[in-house]
């Protein structure tokens, strides 16, 4: 199969959520209740809806430098238990995150959207497509994988959840930051370190434990890949050691017509670490989405 490579908070009542499929009527920010969870979001710009879903244990503020994409109403969401969203308990799964995000789209009356997901958010996006492919107009898979967790990886994620319970969510920062940002960025860009550290610390215990267990028990999404018929962009930080490029190339090979773009000098949080390059790659790809 041919591959393409490129270098490189008020609660709103339902009556207020009259946003159409173009996203124009989606308020600039708010919360909606979906399946017992309170989900917070922000929306910026105008045009077609473009929804971003973050990874573990972050929030929609991961995408703070990706909100200005001309022609799009960019909507960033906090998954239940993260950022300003609230989870009813510690039980979580990737499939449930997907159901919640589809319910979130229902609440905002967004029939169909281009959706991007980073890491756990990408896994969620693949399950959204499995559950309701007609709701997805295009996919941006960012530093993620379709593979289930192996034994060692699953134990590592569960260990994060246990650590959060025993030592507090803030204790996760030291172990996760070296995986999100490259060494040079951690050494020379203290604002990036502070921002991502703040996002981790803002996660609730329900979110940190539930998300860790969701990652450990995530489903095998490889069977979903050949069924994808919408335009798909795969963004990969070259120095990502959580979901290495080999895993993302595997998705590229399985999704017909997908575009693979590498972001040099970026780790697992490439969408944030190299936001300018990521935005350029997304805008180039978005021009091809019809």
The pLDDT confidence band at residue 3, using thresholds 50, 70 and 90, is very low
CATH number, domain with residue 80: 3.40.50.1820
pTM (two decimals): 0.92
The pLDDT > 90 percentage for the chain reads 90
Residue 191 included in any domain: no
Residue 209 included in any domain: no
Helix, strand, coil shares of the chain, percent, nearest 5, are 45, 20, 35
Q: Tell me the mean pLDDT in the region 218-239.
A: 98
Check if the beta carbon of residue 203 is closer than 8 Å to that of residue 57.
yes
Check if the beta carbon of residue 127 is closer than 8 Å to that of residue 97.
yes
Q: Tell me the mean pLDDT in the region 95-99.
A: 98
Residue 144 included in any domain: yes
Check if the beta carbon of residue 267 is closer than 8 Å to that of residue 239.
yes
**So what's the pLDDT on residue 4?**
42
Quick one: which of 128, 148, 110, 107 has its CA closest to 53?
A: 128
Q: Calculate the average pLDDT of the chain.
A: 93
Residue 166 included in any domain: no
Q: Is the pLDDT of residue 29 over 90?
A: yes
The pLDDT confidence band at residue 23, using thresholds 50, 70 and 90, is low
The pLDDT > 70 percentage for the chain reads 92
pLDDT digits (tens, 9 = 90+) for 32-89: 999 999 999 999 999 999 999 999 999 999 999 999 999 999 999 999 999 999 999 9
11-32 as b/e: b if 16+ CB within 10 A: ebeeeebebeeebebbeebbbb
Q: Tell me the mean pLDDT in the region 259-266.
A: 98
Residue 109 included in any domain: yes
> Is residue 149 packed enough to be buried (19+ CB in 10 Å), middle (13-18) or exposed (0-12)?
middle
CA–CA dist 277, 266 (Å, integer): 10
Residues linked to residue 53 through DSSP beta bridges, in sequence order: 77, 117
Our count of domains for the chain comes to: 1
3-state secondary structure of 80: coil
Residue 72 included in any domain: yes
Q: Is the pLDDT of residue 17 over 80?
A: no
Residue 141 included in any domain: yes
Check if the beta carbon of residue 231 is closer than 8 Å to that of residue 257.
yes
Q: Is the pLDDT of residue 9 over 70?
A: no
Residue 7 included in any domain: no
Q: Tell me the mean pLDDT in the region 118-145.
A: 98
Q: Residue 246, preceding bond cis, omega within 30 degrees?
A: no
**So what's the pLDDT on residue 25?**
81
**So what's the pLDDT on residue 240?**
98
The residue segments making up the domain with residue 129 are 29-148+219-287
């Amino acid at each position: 199969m041919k591959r393409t490579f490129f270098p490189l908070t008020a609660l709103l009542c339902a009556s207020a959520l009259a946003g159409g499929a173009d996203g124009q009527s989606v308020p600039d920010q708010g919360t909606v209740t979906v399946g017992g969870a309170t989900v917070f979001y922000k929306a910026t710009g105008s045009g077609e809806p473009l929804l971003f879903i973050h990874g573990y244990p972050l929030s929609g503020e991961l995408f703070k430098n990706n909100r200005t994409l001309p022609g799009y109403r960019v909507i960033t969401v906090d998954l239940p238990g993260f950022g300003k969203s609230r989870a009813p308990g510690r039980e979580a799964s990737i499939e449930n995150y997907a159901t919640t995000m589809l319910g979130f789209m229902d609440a905002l009356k967004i029939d169909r959207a281009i959706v991007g997901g980073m890491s756990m958010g990408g896994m969620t996006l693949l399950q959204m497509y499995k559950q309701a492919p007609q709701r997805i107009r295009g996919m941006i898979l960012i530093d993620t994988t379709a593979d289930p967790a192996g034994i060692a990886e699953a134990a590592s994620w569960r260990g994060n959840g246990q650590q959060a319970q025993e030592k507090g969510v803030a204790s996760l920062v030291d172990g996760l930051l070296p995986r999100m940002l490259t060494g040079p960025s951690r050494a020379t860009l203290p604002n990036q370190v502070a921002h991502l550290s703040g996002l981790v610390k803002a996660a609730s215990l329900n979110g940190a434990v539930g998300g860790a267990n969701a990652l450990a028990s995530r489903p095998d999404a490889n069977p979903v890949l050949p069924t994808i018929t919408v335009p798909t962009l795969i963004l990969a930080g070259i120095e990502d050691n959580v979901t290495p490029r080999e895993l993302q190339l595997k998705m590229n090979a399985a999704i017909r017509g997908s575009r693979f773009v590498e972001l040099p000098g970026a780790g697992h949080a490439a969408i944030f670490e190299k936001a300018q390059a990521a935005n350029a790659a997304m805008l180039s790809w978005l021009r091809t989405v019809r």
